[in-house]
Amino acid sequence: MLNFTVGPVTLDKEVLKIGSKQMPYFRNAEFSTMTLESEELLKRSMNSPLDSKVVFLTASGTAAMEATVLNLFDKEDKLLVVNGGVFGSRFSEICQVHSLNYKEIKLNFFEDLTHGDLIPYDKKGFTGLLINLHETSTGVLYDINLVKEFCEKNHLLLLIDAISSYLADPFDMEGSNANAVIISSQKALGLPPGMSYVVLDKKSQDRVREISFKSVYFNFNKYLSDGERGQTPYTPAVSNLLQLNKKLKYVDKKSVTKIIQETRELAVHFRNEIIKLPFEIPTKSPSNALTALRPLGSISPESVVQSLKMNSDIYVMPNGGELSSKIFRVGHLGAITIENNQYLLDEIKKNLKSIS
Amino acid sequence: MLNFTVGPVTLDKEVLKIGSKQMPYFRNAEFSTMTLESEELLKRSMNSPLDSKVVFLTASGTAAMEATVLNLFDKEDKLLVVNGGVFGSRFSEICQVHSLNYKEIKLNFFEDLTHGDLIPYDKKGFTGLLINLHETSTGVLYDINLVKEFCEKNHLLLLIDAISSYLADPFDMEGSNANAVIISSQKALGLPPGMSYVVLDKKSQDRVREISFKSVYFNFNKYLSDGERGQTPYTPAVSNLLQLNKKLKYVDKKSVTKIIQETRELAVHFRNEIIKLPFEIPTKSPSNALTALRPLGSISPESVVQSLKMNSDIYVMPNGGELSSKIFRVGHLGAITIENNQYLLDEIKKNLKSIS
């Protein structure tokens, strides 16, 4: 089986080894020390301000998005949501369900966010901006510098979902003036799904303390307070935290730049080859994490996805909803290689004969 | 290392083997079929009514407790919480944080729930009862028949947290007329922590549909609807679901009765031996899952816990808060044996010489 989805991705041997071992008891000093080390490594990997803190949340990315919005904003806030696909819509859904005051910058699928998109919202009393750094459903990587400037000028709290971009595209939390950054275990970190990590700068931590958000499990105050001593208020996914520590040490040793460079090489190699076949890449600014592909002529995305699965035991990602008949996606995360890419390309070629 | 905590417990080989393997893609028919099978096996293991449904929630037990309360009850309800320790308090905290109308039946530590405790709340307009079948902080197993009768007589919706009791003590969902039952992965199921499973009978499912609970991640409507085809609305802890399926097949083959019998034998063996040493068991109705122990004389619980860890590489569970200076706990869940028990007893004996 070859896995070109973007989560769960193909895990590396070190991570699998931990999955095959007994877990230690976690309410003790050893585990606390490890978690505090992971916090520092995680911050270093995205250049978070030194006084940032990490919330280790046992739940998937959507939970982290919802919890972070509700810990940082309340009904007094006026929020801007950049919505260019499924995950932008999810931020909108969260705001809508919780009756927060928000406006959507609705982008067409595959479209970049431009200066022009932001102008109508300049000096209009907004207090926060929510954006997916990489809109996973379309593969678009937004221009973070544009967002940074706009947020600085308008004094907005900037919440970034970097779930599918972290360790795939260059990102600098301090450099982009982000106040809160959400990542998850199952994307470029290459861990099993089940945990999310939210990095909060000083300003966000202050907001968490000010906001009277009513929740037990999602109350970040408790996570920040127990986090001081490297613990979580409720039983975390212990094996996931062990795997995280191992992976972050690897990332630190190898360097984030090199890891991103390798992912970029995988993406560029694949893109250079796939456009020689009857496919086009609908995004102008693709993330290194994945490539969205529109089949040309009469080939349907579903038929490519299905033929790869049935004939070649290769998994690529179909899209849902409106996009299901337009595109599918090929991921570049996890333990995959240029040789795997080449095999995928060869198999696509073979399968095209029967489906086109 | 010998692990006598009750979660994460010592995992068996089959579960660890899955932890060491690549995960499959989960948004497809194969994974759906597996999840639907797990749902049926889980229901069978606790004799749930046939039209019950299971919510597979990627989050720890507290999240499942909070989510279930909020999906089943609203401000029109009048709730009774049985509070005999940390986990009873957690139900109260959930009700309090979310401004639900509730009364507490506050029990002294180690005390059973009696008919007399319930009488003051008879025919007083209550609509729901929340109880931990086994109060994990003290080891007390409540009398479910007492609760059943009271709930039937008063037409209460019965929500049971069976997290640390499931597969350790006999439990029959249909027989006890429970409407919702919460369990978690890391207790007697012997899986890594990170997922909880909520079994909802028909009446609970109807409540979920009626209640207008505002949440994205915790909205059970979506889980019930996606659950029809064996999927979850958000990325689940995939490896955990694979391990769950494996374990439930094992449970089904071996029989729940036998598994509980074995845990009971471990508990009884340990209790018969430990009372020959300077310890007393403060509970009259202990769960098979663990034994709470009060050291006699001048021995402190902390010194027993610490000496076992430092001298013997054995982990037992300290208590928190008020109980920390009174008791500690020894678990009987996970892949442990009578021989492990004997070793623990021998090591306690040895360590007593230096700490008493």
Q: Do A63 and B59 touch (CB under 8 A)?
A: yes
Taking only the tens place, the pLDDT of each residue in A104-149 is 999 999 999 999 999 999 999 999 999 999 999 999 999 999 999 9
Interface test with B, best of A28, A58, A161, A198 (most B CBs within 10 A): A58
> What integer is the mean pLDDT of A72-79?
98
Minimum Cα–Cα distance from B193: chain A residue = A237
Q: Do A217 and B59 touch (CB under 8 A)?
A: yes
CA A13 centroid distance within chain: 23
pLDDT score for A15: 95
Report the mean per-residue pLDDT for chain B. 97
Asked whether the bond before B8 is cis by omega within 30 degrees of 0, the reply is yes
Q: How confident is the model at residue A356 (pLDDT cuts 50, 70, 90)?
A: confident
Q: Is the pLDDT of residue B356 over 80?
A: no
What percent of chain B stands above pLDDT 90? Answer: 97
pLDDT score for B4: 97
CATH number of the structural domain B13-254: 3.40.640.10
Top-level CATH class of A14-254? alpha beta
pLDDT score for B316: 97
| Pick from A138, A130, A171, A166: nearest CA to A9 | A166
Rounded distance between C-alpha atoms, residue B280 and residue B272, angstroms: 11
pLDDT score for A139: 98
Question: A197 in helix, strand or coil?
Answer: strand
Taking only the tens place, the pLDDT of each residue in B316-332 is 999 999 999 999 999 99
**Which two three-digit tokens encode residue B42?**
């889980």
**What is the helix (H) or strand (E) element at residue A71, kind and residue range?**
helix A61-72
> What integer is the mean pLDDT of A263-267?
98
> What integer is the mean pLDDT of A270-296?
98
The minimum CA-CA distance between B201 and chain A, rounded to whole Å, is 24
Rounded distance between C-alpha atoms, residue B272 and residue B284, angstroms: 14
Interface test with B, best of A183, A217, A302, A340 (most B CBs within 10 A): A217
**Which two three-digit tokens encode residue B175?**
């027989």
Question: B199 in helix, strand or coil?
Answer: strand
C-beta of residue B316 within 8 angstroms of C-beta of residue B329: yes
> What integer is the mean pLDDT of B285-293?
98
How many Cβ pairs within 8 Å bridge chains A and B?
162
CATH 3.40.710.10 corresponds to the domain A256-355:
no
Nearest to B66 among A66, A90, A216 (CB): A216
- Residue A311: count other Cβ atoms within 10 Å of its Cβ: 13
Q: Which residues of A are less than 8 Å from B5 in CB distance? A: 25
Domain with CATH 3.90.1150.10 in chain B: 256-355
Could you give the ipTM of this predicted complex?
A: 0.96
Q: Which residues of B are less than 8 Å from A215 in CB distance? A: 66, 97
Q: How confident is the model at residue B3 (pLDDT cuts 50, 70, 90)?
A: very high
Q: Is the pLDDT of residue B149 over 90?
A: yes
pLDDT score for B64: 98
Q: Do B315 and A25 touch (CB under 8 A)?
A: yes
Q: Which residues of A are less than 8 Å from B10 in CB distance? A: 22
- Is B353 exposed, middle or buried, given 0-12, 13-18 or 19+ CB atoms closer than 10 A? exposed
- B119 secondary structure, DSSP code: G
> What integer is the mean pLDDT of B164-168?
98
Q: Do A22 and B5 touch (CB under 8 A)?
A: no
The minimum CA-CA distance between A354 and chain B, rounded to whole Å, is 22
Q: Do A238 and B192 touch (CB under 8 A)?
A: yes
Q: How confident is the model at residue B188 (pLDDT cuts 50, 70, 90)?
A: very high
pLDDT score for B109: 97
pLDDT score for B7: 84
Q: Is the pLDDT of residue B187 over 90?
A: yes
End-to-end CA gap in chain B: 24
Domain with CATH 3.40.640.10 in chain B: 13-254
C-beta of residue B49 within 8 angstroms of C-beta of residue B173: yes
Q: How confident is the model at residue A155 (pLDDT cuts 50, 70, 90)?
A: very high
| Pick from B291, B288, B292, B284: nearest CA to B256 | B288
Taking phi over 0 as left and psi of -120 to 50 as alpha, with beta for the rest, B241 belongs to alpha
- Residue A297: count other Cβ atoms within 10 Å of its Cβ: 8
pLDDT score for A336: 93
Q: Do B239 and A22 touch (CB under 8 A)?
A: no
The minimum CA-CA distance between A277 and chain B, rounded to whole Å, is 26
Taking only the tens place, the pLDDT of each residue in A191-220 is 999 999 999 999 999 999 999 999 999 999
End-to-end CA gap in chain A: 24
Q: Is the pLDDT of residue B259 over 80?
A: yes
